[in-house]
Amino acid sequence: MTTYCIIPDELARADAACAVAAGDLRRALSRIGNTEVTGEDAQVTIEVRSTERSGGEGFEIEPLASATGLRVSGAPAGAAYGLVHLAERLVIDGPDWQMRASSSPVLAERMFSETGQLLCLPDWGFWSEQPPYVDEAVLDEEIDELKRLAPHLVRNRFNALCIMHMNVDAYIDYRYFERPVLREHDRHFERSKIFCARLTELVEHFHRHHIRVYLQVYEFSYPHTLAEHPLVETFEGRCRFFSARYREFFERVPCDGIVMTLGEPHARTGYLGKHVVKPISAWEHDAADAAPLADFMQGLIGEQLGKRFYLRLWGYCTPMAIFELSKWRDFIGVLKSPVRLASKCSNGDFWIHQGESPLFHEPSADGRIAMFIFDAWQYEGWGRIFCFPQDWRRRLRLCGQRGVDCANYWANWGRNGHYSGSATPADWPVMGSWRGHASHHHQFTRGFTPGEAQAYLFARLAWDPQCSVERVASDWATLHYGHDNAPRVREILELSEIPCKQMYLRGRPHEGVRAVTSFYYDPDRVLSQLLQNTLEEVEARERRVEQVLNRMTELADGLDDDTAPNPEALSALRRGVRLGQLYFGSLTRYVTNLFREHEMVHVSEDEKEPLLSAIRSTLDELDAFIEPLADFEPEASDWNLTASPKDREIRMVTLKDRVAAMRDRWGSNR
């Protein structure tokens, strides 16, 4: 057994991120059989030198000249990342006191988005009838959970956090508006003080960990007291509205910037929504209408207020599965400012395996696209089932090659996290508070989940896109499951994207239109896409998915509990593999039977009997898959598999309902 001591300099000792990373280093050294001591008794010394109060994120690790041990150096953030790197390599490679390493991130900003699960304001779920009119216990709970993200973001090399809001109105009193918006003694004045104080506290907490904080907002939403007012109805009025809103917000809260979506209004909790960018067809907007507002917001937030501003493109870069570069060129052709634009990295919305955005290869996008958004696997519970998207390496390499500043891991989307469109006060009691709806799929803060593998993949490749996916998979597997189990876990990760890709209704990884997951309650829509396949193709996809899921199950069952360092991670892995087997197994069988039902009216009488027998046999298999799904909560409810979410007003049709209806139509072989 080797004894060691960690000796940080004054700056490193006072740095919150370095403290997180040093804690990881101590756990790593203990795991490989070392004991911490103090002073001259240590056989190994690890010095931490942070010689600058600010600077880059690069680090250097080198042997000590006068003793056995290593020196980790860099600016405070860089020193923290160096300690993270050292802790990982000691576990993965074993002790090497002659180690030399230096590294800097390729992408300057690596953003983790907490979208719609925590602190999604404004929302009356945070209100109280008693002074100060805020349910401070609820607010504290969500603020504290967000704070718990900080160490996870540090060790995963994220340096920015984005929190989804509808708008910033919880933090402003409309003091710069040209007409009164609130009553003289409105409770909002008391609430805004609390919200500003707590968000300021949260931002300062993350700043101590070298993490910038953004709000992601959806515009244009506004209080109902401004309905039909010129501030709402004219371009000049909206500019005055935004100026008043964001000038006050940044005076009261030290956020680092705004990530804004124009043209997708959200309305809830007393707000109205308006499409300030004229839609010209589904998912597309008028470029000439949007560009002046984009230019104004860049001038306001990015220049006058000195904050970072990203404009999320909506309707120019992510029409559903169809991208026309002419729309992009029309849009940038009328822009006059250097507004920092953000686009999906895929050629569509949400579905991570659609073809990559052509903006990666569009010369006019260079210097224009500042952020590419990587949607984490979002079938309303993405973190509970493994999905290790290997094509992210290529896309993150392209980010670096095209001069993109920021890659955004856009994660944690929860059902009912937002409401699009407009609403009147009469709708509010029906809509109620969105707080807590389906907020079960948090990453990092509610225990270990398979989704952590995906976050680690993104963060490692955003730092160094030249790193191989195989190495990242092997490293993550070793860190959480030990050397003996790592080969099996690595294979699980590498297989895991296959069922996800096969869920595309055309069955081809980069040509899918919609995943079936959210649409089994709309069989006509599913069927219209299925008919682009043949029955043989659909059945082959089902067999391929089953083969992969069986192999993943075999691998998970073969893991050695005794050598796994993290029992929680082992339990989460086995649960995730089993849930994936039930989930994908039931969905692929359901889709296959949909196709067979359609075929029944198009085949000869002689062909109907074997087809009917296949339908009935698959229904028997579906029963065997669906019954145990009921034991997997909250997923079974959140995904409408066996029951609707208990917090939903209107019950949705479930997969179990659809299968029962099939049984009524076709009977049983039994």
Compute the Cα dihedral for 606, 611, 614, 620 and give only its sign: negative
Q: Is the pLDDT reported for residue 197 higher than 70? A: yes
* Gyration radius (Cα) of the chain, Å: 26
Topology agreement, domain 2-103 and domain 109-459: no
Q: Is the pLDDT reported for residue 47 higher than 90? A: yes
CB 654 within 8 A of CB 640: yes
pLDDT at 512: 36
Query: d(Cα 199, Cα 255) in Å, to the nearest integer?
Result: 8
Residue range 466-486, pLDDT digits in tens: 999 999 999 999 999 999 999
Strand order from edge to edge, sheet including 101-103: 34-36, 2-8, 44-49, 69-73, 59-63, 101-103
Q: Where do the structural domains in the chain lie, given as residue ranges?
A: 2-103, 109-459, 479-666
Task: Give the least confident one: 228-242, 374-388, 630-644.
Answer: 374-388
Query: d(Cα 27, Cα 21) in Å, to the nearest integer?
Result: 10
pLDDT at 220: 82
Query: d(Cα 508, Cα 596) in Å, to the nearest integer?
Result: 20
Q: How many residues does the chain have?
A: 670
pLDDT at 423: 41
Pick the CATH number of 109-459 from 3.90.1110.10, 3.40.228.10, 3.40.720.10, 3.20.20.80: 3.20.20.80
pLDDT at 518: 47
pLDDT at 4: 95
Compute the Cα dihedral for 610, 615, 616, 622 and give only its sign: positive
Q: Is the pLDDT reported for residue 412 higher than 90? A: no
Q: For tokens 């939903």, name the residue.
A: 648
The overall average pLDDT reported for the chain is 85
What is the number of alpha carbons within 13 Å of residue 545 lying toward its C-beta? 25
Q: Which residues fall within 8 angstroms of residue 263, CB to CB, at 6 or more apart?
A: 275, 276, 277, 279, 285, 290, 314, 315
CB 503 within 8 A of CB 584: yes
What is the number of alpha carbons within 13 Å of residue 496 lying toward its C-beta? 30
pLDDT at 525: 63
Tokens standing for 111?
């953003």
Q: For tokens 């371009």, name the residue.
A: 235
Using alpha carbons, list the distances in angstroms from residue 593 to 86, 522, 538: 52, 14, 10
pLDDT at 224: 77
Tokens standing for 375?
């949607």
Q: Is the pLDDT reported for residue 489 higher than 70? A: yes
Neighbours of 38 (CB within 10 A): 10
pLDDT at 145: 94
Task: Give the least confident one: 36-40, 58-62, 399-403.
Answer: 36-40
Neighbours of 610 (CB within 10 A): 10
* Mean pLDDT calculated for residue range 242-259: 98
Task: Give the least confident one: 124-133, 437-446, 583-592, 613-622.
Answer: 437-446
Q: Is the pLDDT reported for residue 425 higher than 70? A: no
pLDDT at 269: 60
pTM (predicted TM-score): 0.92
Tokens standing for 301?
């937030």
pLDDT-derived band at 443, boundaries 50, 70, 90: confident
pLDDT-derived band at 244, boundaries 50, 70, 90: very high
CB 500 within 8 A of CB 387: yes
Residue range 111-160, pLDDT digits in tens: 999 876 788 888 888 999 999 999 999 999 999 999 999 999 999 999 99
| Domain 2-103 coded CATH 3.30.379.10 | yes
